[in-house]
Chain A
Amino acid sequence: MTFAGIPIRPGTDPPDLRSCVDYIRSANRPTTADLLAAAQADGRVLIQPRCGVGDHGRMLDLLRDLRDGAAPDILSVTVDAHTRLLRFAEAERALREDPYRLNGYPLVTHGWRRGRELAESVDVPLEVRHGSPDPRDLFVTAIASGITSFEGGGIGYNLPYVKDVPLEVSLGAWAEVDRACGVLAEHGVIVERELFGTLTAVLMPPSLCLAVCVLEAVAAAAQGVRCISVAYPQGGNAVQDVAALASIRTLAARYLPDTVTVYPVLHQFMGAFPGDPALADALILYGGLVAKWGAATKVVVKTNQEAYGIPDAAANIRGIRTTRVALSHLLDGFGVDQAAVREEQEWIEREVADLVDPVLQSGDLTTAIAAAFRSGRLDVPFSASIHAHSAVMPRRDPTGAIRIARPGSLALSTETKARNERLLRDAGPRGDEGFVAAVKADIERFSAAVGH
């Protein structure tokens, strides 16, 4: 038994494809794809919080509290770590014994009927956010629940999250999901697929985020996906962040067929967050401004409890409201140097081309991606997976922009390598502390206490 080509896990018992399509099309609320298209046309930035708790009743309350308290445009169902790793027995046991132990909502275990209760509980669309190298069961349950927005990809949901899943395996599983999105599109249901360019979230050079997203997007488009969000994580230098967001549109036009609509999304700062709530609020506001300046279609918000763990609803509401202040006319009238943005954008796009062009030109895409990571021609810093070298080492330049200090075997050209080196020359190892201490200080740029 399959669902849009995906084998059905025994016990999950989804309705057949046709009745799911009817359910989705009869729902009296917009889909994420609808909202993104409207926001793009109006030049608006949609706001979305992350949220997910184990207990079903509490999850319903959380969605309604956030909706009533802050009116976000899209809400999230963040899935627990057991479900992400297909440990359904553990998720079921935790749910039975103590749902508060779960760090997210176990959607597959709760099942699609409860999923529909979530989707029907609010008048805005939901997105499933997780971190699963094999998302097939989760995807089927999401679609059967009427949730048509699904985060992740075969690289971005592998390298940061698991130690030893070969890229061929995760890319294969995600190809099945993308193919199912193609089948659903033929039935008039557009599933929005958000690509997790944030990767390991620590000092991520923009070109590496975007190169991974371009490759995942090309793979998704080839399977029939029609609506893609490319998520880029705020790094902390506004010129660089705005340039990275702007380059998403250029890269989409260059590498993707026009059957696909692509939207830039900003994830507010994903690295080490300040514990001081005043500083955290400021960083959230800064993220909102960068989303506006970079013409992102959506911003995913942080909270001022980020440094301490999973936030409560009140902190989440505050994060959404702070972000809305940044997007309002209140803070119009200042921004970033456009000439500097254009120059930075050109270099980001050159680096992305250095990284992805050889992969796209070498036959089967899955094989080529896996081979590129095996050789280190593609690489990400601080990977949890043994299937990336993690030889690349980032540093901040004196302006706070993230540069590639040690390229490892990355397929960068002489020119792009030289520019990274040149911009970092003044940063230097600080004092006699050495390179590692300097990288650590760069990681802690926003979490370290502010002096007077």
Chain B
Amino acid sequence: MNQFNRATVILGVAASDAHAVANILIAESLREAGFLVVNLGVCTPLPEFAEAYQANPTAVAVVVGSLNGHAYDDLRDLPALRARGLLGCPVVVGGNISVGSTKSDRDRARLEQLGVDHVLDDVAHLVPLLAGLAQPVFA
């Protein structure tokens, strides 16, 4: 346990989304797994994630939760932020990634085209993914 205790994760919920419960539980589970969590909370515009990254440049990932189906709209500025070098670490998006009850590969592909590195549809995959991303720090 606590093997990632120097690995920082920046966490938050997408700009148009006020779902707090999952966010707080995910923050708690990441801390339980030994990460340092910078939790920006609900309704966080992408530029605030970038600011948090600049304040924590060793962060292993920015994790954006989106439960209201507006993930694509809320992440539109990602290519611009990347182009200006303001968001250098992997970006993980998880939750309910589009409106409607059936998800397609197209929803995932659209987010990947924006520059999202990992799209998760099961929160159980988050800790293993971040653990993998954190490994090089200790290599």
Contact = CB atoms under 8 A, between A and B. Distances in A.
A443 B20 contact: no
Interface string B6-30: 0000000000001011001110110
Contacts of B18: 161-163, 384
A435 B43 contact: no
B70 to A, nearest CB: 14
Contacts of B25: 436, 439-440
Contacts of A132: none
Nearest to B33: A434
Contacts of B42: 163, 384
Chief secondary structure at chain A's binding surface: loop
Contacts of B29: 434, 436
Nearest to A386: B41
B32 interface: yes
B32 A434 contact: yes
Contacts of A439: 25, 28
Nearest to A406: B28
A200 B21 contact: yes
Contacts of A386: 41
A435 B30 CA distance: 12
Contacts of A150: none
A439 B28 CA distance: 11
Chief secondary structure at chain B's binding surface: helix
A3 to B, nearest CB: 30
Interface size band for B: 10 to 19
A435 B32 contact: yes
Contacts of A163: 18, 41-43
B28 A436 contact: yes
Nearest to A390: B24
B21 A435 contact: no
A220 interface: no
Interface string A419-452: 0000000000000001110011001000000000
Given A393-B28, A435-B28, A200 B20 contact: yes
A381 B26 CA distance: 14
Given A163-B41, A163-B43, A386-B41, A202 B32 contact: no
A366 interface: no
A386 B24 CA distance: 12
Interface string A142-170: 00000000000000000011110000000
A403 B18 CA distance: 25
Nearest to A272: B21
Contacts of B24: 381-382, 390
Interface of B: 18, 20-21, 24-26, 28-29, 32, 41-43
11 contacts: A163-B18, A200-B20, A200-B21, A382-B24, A435-B28, A435-B32, A436-B28, A436-B29, A436-B32, A439-B25, A440-B25
The 6 A-B residue pairs with the shortest CB-CB distance in the complex, in nearest-first order: A436-B29, A384-B20, A163-B43, A382-B21, A384-B42, A382-B20
